[in-house]
Amino acid sequence: MSRSRRSTASPPRIASGKSRASSRTGRLDVTGSALLAALLSATLAGALALAAPADGGKHDAKFGDNTGASLKLDKKFKGKLPITELTEDEATMHALNRLGYGPRPGDVERVEQMGIEKWIDQQLDPDSIDDSALDERLEKYPTLKMSSEKLLAEFPPPALAAKQAAETKQDYKEQMQEKRRDAVAALAEMNNGNMDKAQEALAKVLGPGRIVAELSMGKIDRAVYSNRQLEAVLEDFWFNHFNVFAQKGPERWMLTSYVRDTIRPHTMGKFQDLLTATAKSPAMLFYLDNWLSVDPTAFKERQQELAELRARYQTFFGGGFRPLGAQEGEGAAGAAGAAGAEGTQGQQKRLQQQDRGLNENYGREVMELHTVGVDAGYTQQDVIEMAECLTGWTVKEPRRDPEFLFRPAFHAEGKKVVMGHTIDAGGEGDGEEALKMLANDPHTAQFISTELARHFVSDTPPPALVARMAKTYESSGGDIRSVLRTMIYSPEFWSKEAYRAKVKTPFELVASTARALDADVNITLPLAVWVGRMGEPLFLCQPPTGYSDKASTWVNTGALLNRLNFALGFATDHMPGAKVDLADLFGEDASKDPEMALTRATDLFLDGQLAPTTMQTLEAHLSDPQVLQARLDDPVQHVNEGLLSGLVLGTPEFQRR
C-alpha cells in the first residue's frame, strides 16, 4: 500500500465518539456474527496455512510493486539496517510485530518519524525507556512484589490454612465458597456491563489461585502496555525456554520470584548468568527434581550419622530435640526430629527418604533443552556426571521458605567429566563450573542462536544467519544483546521471505489485538482465559519443552474459528473487563459507508497491507445485514465497525507476525 493512500484514508478525530460507538456495537446480533465468522473461517484457514510453509516461510501475498527489486530507503529512516526488500511501511510493521507485540494506533507513524534504527536501539536498551505508566498499572497486583515466603504466608495451601484456622478441610472449603459468594454479591448492585462480568470472575479467584492469576494478568498487561516491547517479548521467550509448571507441588508460590528475579533481569544479558540464575532458582530446582538429587553414598553416610545422633540424644531429650548438626528439612531427621516423637507418618517418610539418590532430570534437560541441544553428541554417562556436579543444589524449605541452598553433605565429591571437560572445582563450584562450560560450548552458541532465529525470523531459520549469530555468541561470551543485534542487522531478518512468515501464538494474538484496538483493559483475567481457551494457558505448560514456536502447532480450521470469535467479541466491545472505542479511530464518515469502514479497519490494524484474495473475501460480505445493520423499520444504514474490525483482526494477515 502506498503512503499516500494511507494518509488520505486517515479519519477525522471526533469528541463524541464514545456515545456513537456504544450505539453501534450495541446492535450486534451475536448469533448472526458467529455464523458469518464460521463461513469466513473456512475460507481464510487455507490462507493462514500458507503463512509459514515448510520451505522457510514464503507467502503469496505481495504488497506494493517491489517484488524482485532492491529498494532505496531514506537513511534517516533505516540507518545502517540492511533493508532492501521491504518498503518503509512494511519494515516498520515487521519491526513492531517481531520485536514487540504489534503496533498501537499511531505507532507506525511514530516509528517512521523517529527512524526505525533509533527505535530498535532504544528497545535494545530498555532501561533508557520510561515505563512508569506500566508500573502504575501493575500496582493493582500486590502479589507481584511479594517474596515466595510472603506468598506462602498470605496464601497458604488449603490444608495448612484449614489447620491454622482450626477447621476441617470441608469447613474451610465451605468458608472459601461463602467468601466467593459474598464477593460476587458485593458487585451485584453495580451496573457496568462487561466490567461487572470481569469483576465477578476475578472475585472468585481466592487463595493460592490468586498468585498465578495476578502473574498472568501482569504478563498480559506488560505485553499490551509496556513501552519496553522487546524486553517483554524476550521475557516470554526465555520463560518458555526455561519452562516450569505452575501446578507441580509448591511451584506456584515460587513462580512470581522466578519471573521477576530470575528471568526478567537477564533477558538481554550474558546467557551464562541467565543459565546459572535458573539453575539456582527454587522453581527450577523443584520442577526438575534436582532439589532431591544427592550422592547416594554421601546420603547414606549422613543418614547413619544422624541415626547415631538420634540414639545418643533420645534418652536425654525424649525425642523432642533435633540432633546437633541436623538441618531443617534435611532427610528424615531434619523433617521429623527424633524417632520417639515423629509417629508412624514420620517413620514412613523417613523410610522413603532412605532410598534417595542421584536424580538425572535436571542434568539431562539442562543439556538437551537449555544449552547444547540434543544433537550435541553427549552420552548417558555425561548426563550422570552432570547430575553429580549438581548434587546438593537444593531448596531450603520448599513449602515454607523456598530459597536456594547448597548442602555439602549431599554433594558427590571428586572429579567429573562432562562432554570431555574435567570438572573438579569441588562443592558448589562443581555445578557452577559445569554450567559455565555448557554456556560457553560452541553447541550452545549454535542452539541458542537457532532458537532465537526461529522465534524472531522464521520457523526454519537460514543456516547462514544462525552461523553469524553463533559466531557473535562465542566472540561476545554469550552476550544476548549482541546476538540479537547481529540478527536484527542481517538481511535475512528484513527479507521478503521473513515478512509475516511467523504465526502468532495465542498469547501473542491476544496482546497484539488489545494493542491494535487501543483497548482500555481494566481487568485482564478474561484475556488470560482466552489465551488458555486458544491452547496456551499461561504458566501451565507441563513438559519442560515449553510451548511450540512453530506455525504447525497453531494452524488449523478450528483454531482459526476460535481466533475469529475472540477478535469479534473483543472488537465489538463484548470483552469483559475491557473497553473498546472504535468511533474515535474510524471517524464519523465511516459509520454509513461500509467500503470506507473496511478501508479504515485494514489501515488501522494492518497498515493497509492485505492480500487481494483476503480483501475480496471481506468485500463480498460488506452487504451482509450483520455488517450494515439495516432493518425494515430502520432503513438508515449503520455500519457495524466492530464486526468489520473483528473480521479484519481474524484475517491470516493479522494472525501472522
Q: Taking the CA atoms of the chain, what radius of gyration do you get in angstroms?
A: 28
User: Cα–Cα distance between 586 and 577 in angstroms, integer?
Assistant: 22
Entry field: residues in the chain? 657
User: Cα–Cα distance between 540 and 538 in angstroms, integer?
Assistant: 5
- What are the backbone dihedrals phi and psi of residue 422, each rounded to the nearest 5 degrees, phi first? -85, 125
Q: Does residue 559 or residue 496 have the better pLDDT? A: 496
Residue 517 in this model has a pLDDT that exceeds 90: yes
Residues 142-188 have pLDDT tens digits of 999 999 999 999 998 877 655 666 566 666 566 656 655 555 455 44
* pLDDT at site 347: 44
For residue 452, give the DSSP letter. H
Q: Note the Cα 598 to chain centre separation in Å.
A: 32
Provide the grid cell at 257: 520470584
Residues 152-164 have pLDDT tens digits of 999 988 776 556 6
Least confident of 262-271, 299-308, 322-331: 322-331
Residues 52-89 have pLDDT tens digits of 433 333 333 334 445 556 788 999 999 999 999 999 99
* pLDDT at site 322: 52
Write down the mean pLDDT value for the chain.
83
Spatial CA neighbour of 236 closest among 521, 31, 506, 461: 506
| Number of helices (H), then strands (E), in the chain | 36, 6
Query: What percentage of the chain has pLDDT greater than the value 70?
Result: 74
Residue 20 in this model has a pLDDT that exceeds 90: no
User: Cα–Cα distance between 299 and 130 in angstroms, integer?
Assistant: 51
Spatial CA neighbour of 246 closest among 513, 528, 504, 575: 528
Q: Hey, which bits of 155-242 come out as E strands?
A: none
Residue 293 in this model has a pLDDT that exceeds 50: yes
User: Cα–Cα distance between 639 and 647 in angstroms, integer?
Assistant: 13
Least confident of 11-25, 193-207, 251-265, 352-366: 11-25
User: Cα–Cα distance between 313 and 121 in angstroms, integer?
Assistant: 66
One-letter amino acid for residue 407 of the chain: R
User: Cα–Cα distance between 96 and 444 in angstroms, integer?
Assistant: 28
Asked whether the CA dihedral 318, 319, 320, 322 is positive or negative, the reply is positive
Residue 559 in this model has a pLDDT that exceeds 60: yes
* pLDDT at site 172: 56
* pLDDT at site 3: 39
Averaged pLDDT, 354-375:
92
| Verdict on whether the full-model pTM lies above 0.95 | no
Q: Note the Cα 18 to chain centre separation in Å.
A: 33
pLDDT band at 249 (very low <50, low <70, confident <90, very high): very high
Residues 208-223 have pLDDT tens digits of 889 999 999 999 999 9
Provide the grid cell at 299: 546420603
* pLDDT at site 26: 41
Residue 43 in this model has a pLDDT that exceeds 70: no
Indicate the burial class of 253 (C-beta count within 10 angstroms; 0-12, 13-18, 19 or more): buried
Residues 457-470 have pLDDT tens digits of 999 999 999 999 99
User: Cα–Cα distance between 302 and 391 in angstroms, integer?
Assistant: 14
Spatial CA neighbour of 500 closest among 178, 81, 91, 82: 91
Averaged pLDDT, 194-200:
67
Residue 358 in this model has a pLDDT that exceeds 60: yes
Q: Extract long-range pairs of 486-493: CB within 8 Å, 24+ residues apart.
A: 487/452, 487/453, 487/456, 487/457, 488/81, 488/99, 488/120, 489/80, 489/81, 489/82, 490/82, 490/465, 491/82, 491/84, 492/457, 492/461, 492/462, 492/464, 492/465, 493/98, 493/456, 493/457, 493/465
Asked whether the CA dihedral 620, 625, 629, 634 is positive or negative, the reply is positive
Residue 584 in this model has a pLDDT that exceeds 90: no
